Chain A
Amino acid sequence: MQSKMKESDPILEVKNLSASTDNLPILKGVSLTVYPGEIHAIMGRNGCGKSTLSKIIAGHPSYNITNGDIKFLGENINSLEPEERAQLGIFLGFQYPIEIPGVSNLEFLRVSTNARRKFLNKEELDTFDFEELVKEKLEIVKMDHAFLSRSVNQGFSGGEKKRNEILQMALLEPKIAILDETDSGLDIDALRIVAAGIKKISNAQTGIILITHYQRLLDEIEPNYVHVMSDGQIIKTGESDLALELEKKGYEWTDNFIKET
């Protein structure tokens, strides 16, 4: 499916990736290639390794890569620190955004934006310039300015947390965004806002991986490819209609698939 000719080089190549945590294998040979402008959806039962895959791409220290490679713009990033990956332009939208008491959201956003800008050789923003930028980006996720003065994610509702993730994505302008169940816990209005935000931020140069259980996000953002994961492997890849079929037939339907190589 992904062997057809592409005009540009891939943003992300995951090749035969196996990984474990506490000696427990979680990923068992995952391959995935994302080209600029592509949207990939990854679906699958809870515990199939979807979230683990996203965390490993972002560099979570709890997992060991036992085999395979992760390449970003052609360079192997297996041993890079999470912050280095983020600075390169890899963004992970968390399924459960973490609360950080005492650290103001505004300061957090500014420091992370500047870390990325510094890497891109762009001028770092002082508090005033950043204020301008963040105001503009708040529009995208329809968030109130008051969010900025609160501690990072602390006391945020589920929907507010997810919107805060998309706000970060808007500020960091990643090359690739992996959004881990960004749609879960959102009501329909919030889902639309988040989906519209994602669409606004992405463009022909960026790649997106949506990890989701639900068709309704994919109704808003149509993927080019849908991958089904099971037991640490991608067992089926198709186009957007695969998700519809999956919605109709359930994951049991996929149990009969043998891994497509």
Chain B
Amino acid sequence: MVNENLVKDVVKEPYKYGFVTDIETEKIAKGLNEDIIRLISEKKEEPEYLLDFRLKAFKKWQTMDEPDWAGLGYKQIDYQDIIYYSAPKQKEKISSLDEVDPKLLETFDKLGIPLTEQKKLTNVAVDAVFDSVSIATTFREELAEHGVIFCSISEAVKNHSDLIEKYLGTVVPASDNYFAALNSAVFSDGSFVYIPKGVTCPMDLSSYFRINSGDSGQFERTLIIAEESSSVSYLEGCTAPMFDTNTLHAAVVELIALDDASIKYSTVQNWYAGDEEGIGGIFNFVTKRGKCLGKRSKISWSQVETGSAITWKYPSCLLLGEESVGEFYSVALTNNLQKADTGTKMIHIGPKTKSTIVSKGISAGKSINSYRGLVKMGTKAKGSRNYSQCDSMLIGDQASANTFPYIKSQQPNSEIEHEASTCRISEDQLFYLQSRGIEFEEAVSMMVSGFCRDVFNQLPMEFAAEADKLLALKLEGSVG
């Protein structure tokens, strides 16, 4: 009955998604220069304007310095040692899933994302991205009946070039920051969503990003456009194999909501986090931003960040439209030697705009977990309001938590409210739960999910359950 090693045993439980798919891949040479960018663009048969976009971004990137203001202290990245395009070899043109390499289908099966007609998830359409390319997108015909476009961004470049040309880079300009510039120069694939006017997307849309090769970076790009009075809920999941080297993931996500449109973007990020000594893991340097362009438009970010050696991201909202609404709900959990610097920027530009920020950071092991956020009220943001709540939970005595809330207001007729708290799971709390027959691990996860409840309530149902389980798994063995 006694199992004192229980705790130790579970710590050793390997990262469930750490396997590598043995598949023939087409990789280009390592390194980054104009020729590489031309090559990527050529492989994707891109129009001239996109090549221009890439080359301009690359020129800009060359003039920029890698930022270090977050003080994340990672080993300098050698950008010439990365492969910028890696794709599983498959037939030139795939017309149906039957032609997709079974190994790839098997991989996504193993990740819990079955793609085949018989097995696919019934209520979610999935775009599966493997290294640099999108493998398959399910439910395309069904979505098309409603006029919803859901496909890889490469495909969108070919088939919906007008939309790409109109919107790409309008929310996150190529020059926005170092990693956004890099992404703009070399992005390989990602998802594209277009919801036409008045349409409520009939099902959740989801992208699943899988990094498979160890020496290539992943630079996906997602663009979601919600036309007037439309709405969509979009989910994003990510995993990667365990390598003892760090892999760079520098994505850009752009959301655009027009009048009365609403976009809900949920992420469960579970990239490989490195081992207990901090060897390996993904550098997750991501720029995510939404533009509430229309009146009464709404963009809601919810994220559960559990993976990556380093997470550096601030899903943000530009609130331009009158009475537009921005939301950010975040749970960031770090363990061992992970570092997370995450938060949001709520930029209130239009009048009567509203934003809500709820951030829950949980730090265990020797990890560092920081909330960093900006709330800005512009001169025209009369009658705008923000509410922020940033809570930190410490587990053990070697973890640290920071909160950096930046507030700038140029509009006296606006309201900004900020609350913050820090708590620690104490031995007494654990003993109390245990003394009522509740297992140690369950006691910890009960307390953690209690702490995160406000955020979990915002997640789509199936995601909330998954997030709860994921946190429990990540925390196993982190206490005591």
Name A residues whose Cβ lies closer than 8 Å to a Cβ of B. 58-62, 79-87, 91-92, 94, 97-104, 107-108, 111-112, 115-116, 119, 151, 168, 172
Given A102-B453, A103-B447; A108-B433 close (CB under 8 Å): yes
Given A62-B427, A79-B4, A103-B446; A112-B451 close (CB under 8 Å): no
Instruction: Select B437's contact among A102, A151, A172, beta carbons within 8 Å.
Output: A172
Q: Is the CB of B431 within 8 A of A82?
A: yes
The docked-state distance in angstroms from the alpha carbon of A195 to that of B440 is 31
Interface string of B417-441 (1 = CB under 8 A from A): 0000001001111011111111110
Q: Is the CB of A101 within 8 A of B437?
A: no
Q: Is the CB of A61 within 8 A of B447?
A: no
Q: Is the CB of B431 within 8 A of A112?
A: no
The docked-state distance in angstroms from the alpha carbon of A172 to that of B433 is 13
Interface string of B441-480 (1 = CB under 8 A from A): 0110011011111000000000000000000000000001
Interface majority SS on A: helix, strand, loop or mixed? mixed
Q: Is the CB of B447 within 8 A of A59?
A: no
Given A97-B432, A100-B432, A103-B447; A84-B1 close (CB under 8 Å): yes
Q: Is B2 at the interface (CB under 8 A from chain A)?
A: yes
Q: Is the CB of A83 within 8 A of B438?
A: yes
Q: Is the CB of B450 within 8 A of A86?
A: no
Across-interface contacts of B436 in A (CB, < 8 A)? 83, 86, 108, 112, 115, 168, 172
The docked-state distance in angstroms from the alpha carbon of A240 to that of B277 is 60
Across-interface contacts of A101 in B (CB, < 8 A)? 423, 450-451
The docked-state distance in angstroms from the alpha carbon of A168 to that of B433 is 11
Q: Is the CB of B450 within 8 A of A102?
A: yes
Please name 25 pairs of A and B residues whose Cβ atoms are closer than 8 Å in the assembled complex, sorted by A. A58-B435, A61-B431, A83-B434, A83-B435, A83-B439, A84-B1, A84-B2, A86-B438, A87-B437, A92-B435, A97-B432, A98-B429, A101-B423, A101-B450, A102-B447, A102-B452, A102-B453, A103-B446, A103-B447, A104-B450, A111-B438, A112-B436, A115-B436, A115-B437, A172-B436
Across-interface contacts of B437 in A (CB, < 8 A)? 83, 86-87, 112, 115-116, 119, 172
B442: nearest residue on chain A (CB-CB)? A111
Q: Is the CB of B427 within 8 A of A86?
A: no
A94: nearest residue on chain B (CB-CB)? B432
> A102-B447, A111-B438, A112-B436 are known contacts; what are 6 more A-B pairs with Cβ within 8 Å?
A79-B4, A83-B435, A92-B435, A98-B429, A102-B453, A112-B433
- Pick from A59, A79, A84, A103 the residue with the most CB of B within 10 Å: A103
The docked-state distance in angstroms from the alpha carbon of A78 to that of B450 is 32
B450: nearest residue on chain A (CB-CB)? A102
B446: nearest residue on chain A (CB-CB)? A103
The docked-state distance in angstroms from the alpha carbon of A235 to that of B229 is 80
B3: nearest residue on chain A (CB-CB)? A81
Q: Is the CB of B2 within 8 A of A81?
A: yes
Name B residues whose Cβ lies closer than 8 Å to a Cβ of A. 1-2, 4, 423, 426-429, 431-440, 442-443, 446-447, 449-453, 480
Q: Is the CB of B435 within 8 A of A59?
A: yes
Q: Is the CB of A115 within 8 A of B423?
A: no
Across-interface contacts of A98 in B (CB, < 8 A)? 426, 428-429, 431-432
Across-interface contacts of A80 in B (CB, < 8 A)? 1-2
Q: Is the CB of B451 within 8 A of A102?
A: yes
Across-interface contacts of A81 in B (CB, < 8 A)? 2, 4, 434, 440
The docked-state distance in angstroms from the alpha carbon of A58 to that of B437 is 11
The docked-state distance in angstroms from the alpha carbon of A59 to that of B4 is 13
A107: nearest residue on chain B (CB-CB)? B446
Q: Is the CB of A100 within 8 A of B447?
A: yes
Across-interface contacts of B4 in A (CB, < 8 A)? 79, 81
Nearest-Cβ distance from residue A67 to partner chain B, whole angstroms: 20
Instruction: Select A82's contact among B426, B434, B442, B451, beta carbons within 8 Å.
Output: B434
Instruction: Select B450's contact among A62, A94, A100, beta carbons within 8 Å.
Output: A100
Q: Is the CB of A115 within 8 A of B450?
A: no
- Pick from A83, A84, A98, A119 the residue with the most CB of B within 10 Å: A83
The docked-state distance in angstroms from the alpha carbon of A119 to that of B436 is 12
The docked-state distance in angstroms from the alpha carbon of A61 to that of B480 is 10
Across-interface contacts of A62 in B (CB, < 8 A)? 427
B421: nearest residue on chain A (CB-CB)? A101
Instruction: Select A86's contact among B435, B447, B452, beta carbons within 8 Å.
Output: B435
The docked-state distance in angstroms from the alpha carbon of A103 to that of B427 is 16
The docked-state distance in angstroms from the alpha carbon of A167 to that of B359 is 34
Given A79-B4, A83-B440; A108-B446 close (CB under 8 Å): yes
The docked-state distance in angstroms from the alpha carbon of A63 to that of B459 is 42
The docked-state distance in angstroms from the alpha carbon of A119 to that of B439 is 12
Across-interface contacts of A103 in B (CB, < 8 A)? 446-447, 450
Query: What 10 A-B pairs are tightest by C-beta distance, nearest first?
Result: A102-B450, A115-B437, A112-B436, A86-B437, A82-B434, A103-B450, A98-B432, A83-B434, A87-B437, A82-B435
Across-interface contacts of B435 in A (CB, < 8 A)? 58-59, 82-83, 85-86, 91-92
